[in-house]
Each structure stands twice: as C-alpha cells, then as structure tokens.
C-alpha cells in the first residue's frame, strides 16, 4: 500500500482549511530532516563517539551529554538559512539564538529540546527530540527577536512535535488539525504517514511517575497515586499498571498510542522550583499534542497551554494524558 509522505501531508495541510503557511511547511520539513540526522548519530552510538558526557554544564545545571550538544548544533545549522525564522531557543542554550547575517529573518520562532531523555543515551534506551513553533508578534515588522518574544502561552503555538529514536524512528506532529505519526523508512530516508489522527483514550489503568520521589510529593499527588496503588479493592475499583522510562518523549508516545497519565509534579526536593520539566520546549509542545489527541494537560492548577511564561527556561509541574485521569488528579489539587 502506498503511504503518504510527510511532504505530501504538509502540502495537503497547506491546501486544506487550516491553510498551513508555506514557511511553516518548510520549517517542519527542515526540522524533520535534522531529526533524521540526529537519529543517525543516535543509531551509531559507540561507533560514532556520541556517547558519554562532556565537562560542561548547561543553563539547567545539568552536565551535558555529547549528544545534547551534537543534536543542538544539528538543529541550529539546519534552521539558520531558510528565511522563515527570526530566532531559536533551546534547552542547551542560555539565551536565544537570533538568525545570523547574511541569512534573512522570517516570522517564526523555533524552540527545541534537542535531545530528550539524556540519562538514557548511554544505556541504549529510547530518546527523542521535542520542538515547538511560535509566531513572532504581529507588530514585530522585521525587527530582531528578543527573549520576550518567546514568552507566549502554549496556546499560541502554530505547530509542535517530537521525534522518537526507538526501535522505529518516528515523527509525531500537530499543526492544529489533529496528531499525525510518521515512521522513517530507513532505506529510502523518507517519513511515511503511519498513524492518522492519534487519539488518547479518556480512561486508563496505567500511570507514569518517578515513584522514587513519593516522600517528596504534595498531598494531592500522593492521594492520587495511593489510590491507583490500592487497585481493585481501593476507591478506583481497578488495578493500575505503572511505567516510567525517564525519557519524556518515550513515556508520552506510549500515552499517545494506548492512553495513560504522565506526571512530573512539583516535589519538595527543590521546593522553590514548580517542577523539573521546562515549560517552553517540553511541557508546551507535549501539551499541544496531547490536547490535539483528545487528552488533557494541567499543572495542577490550570491548563498548561494557558500558563503565561515568565522566563525562557522556566519549569512547570506536568500532569497530562487521559482526560478523565488528568481531571481527577487536578480536582484533588483543588480540594487541597
């Protein structure tokens, strides 16, 4: 059976009622090509010297892995020349990266987590890349981007997606018309549509959280997880399964595929931080995808896509996935 390529899908989105702008189509094609290159390095592992850590720390205070930096460079170089971007921002860069001369600037902003799940790189567990696309403010009229231009609520996103470097290499994408999954044909080097309009079931019996942090959780999260653990004889009346890969992209792809709830909530280890995951290039793109697939995403108090960012690398508490479960754990937060 002939499968639709990413290019054909994007051209059809351009023609459809969503009228995908040509600049966004080009941007997604370029990011997809860069993810192919990252996946190539990931796949070669020790053979290509990409494993292991550097001595440098990123702005997050994390020791950088070689692949964090390699992936970041690949995405920067691929996206500098197209004329569709005004600037880029990344987990691995302190400040924004304006499009350098002699390249022309465009009307979009690209944000990315170039390599998500870095703690899994050296142990050959699936990892990924996450990206998000915003418009420059309407009144920007060609001026250089500033960090403030990136501080838009996630509901303003034009597109979002992730690449998953797993047994299959996949690209999962939304431009606001549902969620579409593409599998890389490694012989041909083409992304082929394999998952149309992915949907997250509203109910689930599978939760994902790092339970080593149990003693540090706030009461609503503790209550929700304890009830899951109480199983059939408990208040939930059913047994739950638990999964935690520690690569957000991988945990969320499982949820996109068969449902579940993913939680990385505030905990008392670093009480001054709202959570571990970053709002602009992890929580927002994933929340856009999850909502487009019929799921829900909150920070315990409000919809993640409505959070007004205050800083490029700010963190947020993340509760997302099957709608009915996210609504329940969010209701527990309201009860206190």
Whichever of 92 and 149 has its CB closer to ligand AHG, that residue is: 92
Decide: is 206 part of the binding site for ligand AHG (CB under 6 A): no
Dist. CA 109–CA 17, nearest whole Å: 23
Among the listed ranges 47-55, 57-65, 121-129, 233-241, the one in contact with Mn ion (CB under 5 A) is 57-65
Whichever of 8 and 95 has its CB closer to Mn ion, that residue is: 95
Site for ligand AHG in 72-101 (CB under 6 A): 91
Q: Token pair of 64, please?
A: 């950088």
Decide: is 91 part of the binding site for Mn ion (CB under 5 A): yes
Decide: is 292 part of the binding site for ligand AHG (CB under 6 A): no
Whichever of 171 and 263 has its CB closer to ligand AHG, that residue is: 263
Distance (Å) of CA 317 to CA 7, 23, 249, 333: 35, 32, 16, 12
Binding mask 99-118 for Mn ion (x = CB under 5 A): --------------x-xx-x
Decide: is 246 part of the binding site for ligand AHG (CB under 6 A): yes
Decide: is 211 part of the binding site for ligand AHG (CB under 6 A): no
Task: Give the residue, chosen from 85, 109, 163, 248, that forms a contact with ligand AHG under the rule CB under 6 A.
Answer: 248
Decide: is 73 part of the binding site for Mn ion (CB under 5 A): no
Residues in the chain: 336
Dist. CA 26–CA 21, nearest whole Å: 9
> Whole-number minimum distance, CB 230 to Mn ion, in Å?
31
Q: Known binding site: residues?
A: 91, 113, 115-119, 210, 276, 282
> Whole-number minimum distance, CB 267 to ligand AHG, in Å?
10
- Sheet harboring 179-185: ordered strands across? 97-98, 85-90, 108-116, 127-135, 159-165, 169-174, 179-185, 190-195
Whichever of 114 and 181 has its CB closer to ligand AHG, that residue is: 114
Q: Could you tell which of Mn ion, ligand AHG, none binds residue 149, using a CB distance below 5 to 8 A set by kind?
A: none
Task: Give the residue, chosen from 7, 11, 37, 62, that forms a contact with Mn ion under the rule CB under 5 A.
Answer: 62
Q: Could you tell which of ligand AHG, Mn ion, none binds residue 210, using a CB distance below 5 to 8 A set by kind?
A: ligand AHG
Site for ligand AHG in 110-149 (CB under 6 A): 113, 116-119
Question: b/e map of 202-233 (b: 16 or more CB within 10 Å)?
Answer: bebebbbbeeeeeeebbebbebbbebbeeeee
Question: b/e map of 286-321 (b: 16 or more CB within 10 Å)?
Answer: bbbbbbbbbbbbbbbeebbbebebeebbbbbbbbbb
Residue among 124, 147, 150 nearest 135 (CA):
150
Q: Token pair of 52, please?
A: 């292991």
Which residue minimizes CB distance to Mn ion?
A: 116
Contacting positions for ligand AHG (CB under 6 A): 62, 91, 113, 116-119, 210, 246-248, 264, 276
Contacting positions for Mn ion (CB under 5 A): 62, 91, 113, 115-116, 118
């Amino acid at each position: 059976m002939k499968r639709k390529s990413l290019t054909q899908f994007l051209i059809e989105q351009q023609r459809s009622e969503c009228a995908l702008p040509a600049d966004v189509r080009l941007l997604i094609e370029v990011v997809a090509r860069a993810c192919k290159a990252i996946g190539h390095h990931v796949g070669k592992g020790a053979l290509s010297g990409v494993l292991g850590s550097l001595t440098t720390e990123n702005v997050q205070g994390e020791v950088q892995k070689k692949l964090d930096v390699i992936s970041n460079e690949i995405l920067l170089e691929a996206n500098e020349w197209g004329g569709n971007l005004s600037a880029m921002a990344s987990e691995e860069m302190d400040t924004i990266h304006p499009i350098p001369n002699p390249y022309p600037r465009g009307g979009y902003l690209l944000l990315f987590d170039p390599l998500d799940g870095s703690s899994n790189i050296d142990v050959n567990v699936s990892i990924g890349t996450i990206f998000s696309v915003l418009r420059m403010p309407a009144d920007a009229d060609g001026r250089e981007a500033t960090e403030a231009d990136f501080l838009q609520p996630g509901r303003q996103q034009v597109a979002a997606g992730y690449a998953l470097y797993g047994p299959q290499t996949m690209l999962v994408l939304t431009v606001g018309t549902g969620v579409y999954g593409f599998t890389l044909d490694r012989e041909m080097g083409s992304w082929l549509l394999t998952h149309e309009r992915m949907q997250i079931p509203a109910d689930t019996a599978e939760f994902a959280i790092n339970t080593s942090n149990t003693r540090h959780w706030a009461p609503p999260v503790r209550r929700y997880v304890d009830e899951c653990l109480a199983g059939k004889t408990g208040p939930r009346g059913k047994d739950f399964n638990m999964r935690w890969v520690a690569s957000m992209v991988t945990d969320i792809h499982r949820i996109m595929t068969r449902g579940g709830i993913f939680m990385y909530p505030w905990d008392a280890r670093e009480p001054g931080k709202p959570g571990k995951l970053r709002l602009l290039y992890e929580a927002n793109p994933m929340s856009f995808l999850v909502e487009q697939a019929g799921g829900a995403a909150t920070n315990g108090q409000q919809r993640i896509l409505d959070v007004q960012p205050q800083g490029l690398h700010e963190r947020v508490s993340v509760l997302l996935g099957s709608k009915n479960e996210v609504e329940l754990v969010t209701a527990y937060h309201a009860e206190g």
